Amino acid sequence: MVRVLVRAVASVVASALMGSIIVFLLLRLLKGDVATVILGQTATREALEELRAEMGLDASLVEQYLQWIGGVLQGDMGTSYAAEFDIAHEIWVRIPLTFTLAFSSLILSVIVALVIGTFSAIHAKNWRGTTVDILSQVGIAVPSFWLGLLMATLFAVHLGWLPAGGYVPLSEDFVRGVKSLTMPVLALAIPLSAVLVRYVRSGMLEVLDEDFIRTAQAKGLTLRRAAWRHGIRNASIPLVTVTILQLGQLLAGAVVIENVFTLPGLGRMLVVAVGGREPLSVQSLALVLMLMILTLNFLMDIAYGLLDPRIRGRGRTVLHA
């Protein structure tokens, strides 16, 4: 087991390192210069070159990358060129909001998918199951940012139930904090739930044809009770797999939703950094987001192994070999 964990951690580190190199090089290919953004279009060539040298932008790409990644390994991501804030500290302050938004949306989506997907599978041959299928197709087709705008128009502008934007930390005022996160979480969770519902339904339909479900029914359980008591664990295996694949899209959606609702998370910081031509901030944020996705993938793989004993069996085989 230790060897498997070591290999998984090494894979995460290698993937993060490769991703950091790709992001670093892509940012250098984009047009725009932070020195010009700071000094303006009327700045002289000498002033621009002096500022670039001061910020270390006149060094070679290899030197710039090694200086940056070396600082990251020591917990120092550098200082924002224009705003002059400590990037690592700013990311650390904003991570809880982004993580809360994404994690809440993920948990809500999984719960809804398990309940609605199981319901749809049990009623697959009547109008109830058909209705769920239609609604899930609509949910998949609706972009999260458009859904967020619709909810803001309805619940904030017309009804006045929820704030249209901004964020109140849960530690300061729990009720107002929950209200400020309700629409962003729903905007992310509804499209993701629609995707996951279809996989739970498909997995549950296969499980309902298994012999152990028929045995449970023969012992007196209804189909619904047999599905919830004996089938939900097996039907959850494809759900975990698809959830892993959706993590990147969920975080990308969080970046957009944070800007729709003006939430001070990593997504809002990323958009401001891109607009200000801040390559150091952008590549540091991209690295953090990649590490979050890779870490969640690692945890989901562990959960997948716990749900499916065959995975653990293969792991033991590898260890004994």
Backbone phi, psi, residue 51, to 5°: -70, -40
Distance CA 19, CA 25 (A): 10
CA nearest to 297, candidates 254, 233, 241: 241
CA nearest to 230, candidates 244, 210, 246, 250: 210
* Residue spans per domain, the chain: 95-307
Q: What spatial distance separates the first Cα and last Cα of the chain, rounded to whole Å?
A: 12
CATH of domain 95-307: 1.10.3720.10
- Please say whether the beta carbons of 260 and 152 come within 8 A: yes
Which two structure tokens, joined as six digits, stand for 304?
A: 């997948």
pLDDT tens, position by position, for the chain (321 residues)? 566 667 777 777 888 888 888 888 887 776 666 666 666 566 677 776 776 776 666 777 788 788 888 888 887 777 776 667 788 888 888 888 888 888 888 889 888 888 888 788 777 777 777 787 788 878 778 888 888 888 888 888 888 888 887 888 877 888 888 888 889 999 888 888 888 888 878 777 767 666 666 666 566 666 666 666 656 666 666 677 777 777 777 877 888 888 888 888 888 888 888 777 777 888 888 888 888 778 777 776 666 556 555 555 444 433 333
Supply the pTM of this predicted model.
0.72
